[in-house]
Amino acid sequence: MVPATRVRSLPLLAAVLLAAVPGLAPAQTPWDAAKKVAGGATVGKLEKEINRRLLEEGRKNQCAFKTDTDVLEPGCDAKMKKLSNALVDAKKRLNGAGVKNFKFVVSGHTDSTGAAKHNDELSAKRAAVVERELVAKGIPAAEIESVGMGSKKPLVTPDDTAAKRAKNRRYEIQVRL
The answer to whether residue 148 is domain-embedded is: yes
C-alpha 99: how far from chain center: 12
Q: Quick check: 171 and 133 in contact, CB under 8 A?
A: no
Distance set, CA 26 to CA 22, 30, 158 (Å)? 10, 12, 57
51 lies in some domain: yes
Say how many domains are in the chain.
1
CATH number at residue 101: 3.30.1330.60
Range of the domain at 64: 44-176
Is residue 110 assigned to a domain?
Answer: yes
Say if 103 falls within a structural domain: yes
Q: What is the pLDDT along the chain (177 residues), one digit of tens a residue?
A: 545 544 455 454 444 444 555 554 455 555 444 445 445 667 889 999 999 999 999 999 999 999 899 999 998 999 999 999 999 999 999 999 999 899 999 999 999 999 999 999 999 999 999 999 999 999 999 999 999 999 999 999 999 999 999 999 999 999 999
Peptide bond into 140 cis (omega under 30): no
